[in-house]
Copies of this chain bind each other. A is one copy, B any other.
Amino acid sequence: MSTQPTADKSHVYISELASHVGQEVTLRGWLYNLRSSGKLLFPQLRDGTGLVQCVVFKKNVPEELFDALKGLGQESALVVRGSVRADERAPGGFEIDVTQAEVVQSVEGYPITPKEHGTEFLMDHRHLWLRSRRQHAILKVRHTVVRAVRDFLDTDGFTLCDTPILTPAACEGTTTLFELDYFGEEKAYLSQSGQLYNEATAAAFGKVYCFGPTFRAERSKTRRHLTEFWMVEPEMAYATLDDVMNLAERFLSAIAARVLDERQEELKILERDTEKLERIVPPFPRVHYDDAVKMLHDAHAKGELENRFEWGGDFGAPDETYISKQFDKPVMVHRYPAAVKAFYMARDPERDDLALGVDVLASEGYGEVIGGGERATSLEFLEEQLRIHELPREAFEWYLDLRRYGSVPHAGFGMGIERCVTWMCGIEHVRETIPFPRMLYRLRP
């Protein structure tokens, strides 16, 4: 194996072949598949940007090279030179007529073969599984979702204000927090949300967002849970629940439009019904919690839901699924019972038992993708909430300062990136939407 690669600048990526038809090019990649037929070899090359079929005529290359190529195993590293031919029948639309090739590494026994593998096996080999077409497609969609999120917020005048991962106080009880020792001085906890810090930066910058990994030490093992996941949280000063709903609607629509625009090929690989994504356009239906509960009661009466939902609780998965199936686009359920929402939520001035919060339920039963709302502005109210929730007052003094010095109505939301990508891709499990998923029994590789 050479340590010094072909450094000539004439190499191109497979994604660039369209502008090189009829030309000789050098491609650098890995062998994805190999068929042979007498004096012909058909190596499929992948280079991270795409897949292309190469054609090797025995008479066009040295015999030694032909024999070497013939024996290559999957994922062998390969530099290929040849002319680009447009061919509609070929996957990707091009073929390479090979004139030269260099085997950078000949591989045998690549663990992931075209046969079916169990999930545990694939997860143990996640570092290699990422090279498979489906995983590649999902993570390209993730790339585009992240890009769309940042472009939307940056263009809309939001300032990125990264919030800390290491936080001093267990703000919402310690049971689902990862705890660590901070230089033998005190305990630190891995952040579950940048929310409280966002409220400080929103007062400094007007419109802000944080976007980073968040952590939940939950012992749940569902297809929607990761212990480490990425969350984007925009927050706006001088804003209300309505502003948040308007933002969420424009935000999700922009993401879906971007994915449709940039990831058609990947959506095809994932067999995604793109019509479903095309329906993600404003306005989204807005349903009062009371009305959502009525829908669930009617469904129960008609025998469409097994359990009768009780007013006052958070929706379970079957409830969420039922509600979202009544619409062909995401639905925003607003004004939840204050008792099931976070202590910092503002109350509905017309109904003190309701919080000015909203959950956006993704379409097709993908569940809650956004949660947010308006924050309480009153110092006295928050002091009382801290008492009621038995939270350590001292740890929240800085947060209370935000109500002492220039308190204004403000609002925002959080969206988990992996849930959004799962939905965009139309896949089953959130674990495929992050390069190296962390779950209850999964910390490797």
Which residues of A approach B to under 8 Å, CB–CB? 1-7, 11, 13, 15, 28-30, 47-49, 75-77, 79, 104-105, 107, 110-111, 125, 127-128, 130-131, 135-136, 139-140, 142-143, 146-147, 150, 154, 157, 159-168, 178-183, 185-186, 188, 190, 197, 200-207, 212-213, 215, 217, 219, 227-228, 230, 237-240, 242-243, 346, 349, 377-378, 398-399, 401-402, 404-409, 434-436, 438, 440-441, 443-445
Give the residue of B168, B197, B399 whose beta carbon is less than 8 angstroms from that of A443.
Answer: B168
Query: A230 to B161, alpha carbons, bound, how many Å?
Result: 12
19 contacts between A and B (CB under 8 A): A2-B409, A5-B409, A13-B206, A49-B157, A127-B200, A127-B401, A130-B201, A131-B203, A139-B205, A142-B160, A146-B160, A150-B150, A163-B435, A165-B215, A166-B228, A168-B443, A168-B445, A180-B180, A201-B435
- Nearest-neighbour CB distance to chain B for A232, whole angstroms, equals 13
Query: A203 to B75, alpha carbons, bound, how many Å?
Result: 10
Query: A77 to B203, alpha carbons, bound, how many Å?
Result: 10
- Nearest-neighbour CB distance to chain B for A19, whole angstroms, equals 14
On whether the beta carbons of A240 and B205 are closer than 8 Å, the reply is no
On whether the beta carbons of B7 and A107 are closer than 8 Å, the reply is no
Report B-chain residues with C-beta under 8 Å of the C-beta of A107. Answer: 404-406
Query: A128 to B199, alpha carbons, bound, how many Å?
Result: 11
Report B-chain residues with C-beta under 8 Å of the C-beta of A444. Answer: 168, 398
On whether the beta carbons of A434 and B131 are closer than 8 Å, the reply is no
Nearest to A165 among chain B residues (CB) is B213
Query: A163 to B438, alpha carbons, bound, how many Å?
Result: 11
Report B-chain residues with C-beta under 8 Å of the C-beta of A29. Answer: 206
Please tell me how many copies of the chain the complex holds.
2
On whether the beta carbons of A349 and B4 are closer than 8 Å, the reply is yes
Nearest to A408 among chain B residues (CB) is B77
- Nearest-neighbour CB distance to chain B for A354, whole angstroms, equals 13
Indicate whether A7 sits within 8 Å of B440 (C-beta atoms), given known contacts A30-B203, A165-B228, A405-B110. no
Query: A142 to B161, alpha carbons, bound, how many Å?
Result: 9
- Nearest-neighbour CB distance to chain B for A401, whole angstroms, equals 6
Report B-chain residues with C-beta under 8 Å of the C-beta of A139. Answer: 159, 161, 204-205
Query: A214 to B167, alpha carbons, bound, how many Å?
Result: 15
On whether the beta carbons of A28 and B408 are closer than 8 Å, the reply is yes
Give the residue of B7, B110, B190 whose beta carbon is less than 8 angstroms from that of A240.
Answer: B7
Indicate whether A161 sits within 8 Å of B435 (C-beta atoms), given known contacts A127-B200, A130-B204, A131-B204. yes
Q: Which 6 A-B pairs have the closest CB atoms?
A: A48-B206, A398-B445, A127-B200, A130-B204, A180-B180, A48-B205
- Nearest-neighbour CB distance to chain B for A20, whole angstroms, equals 15
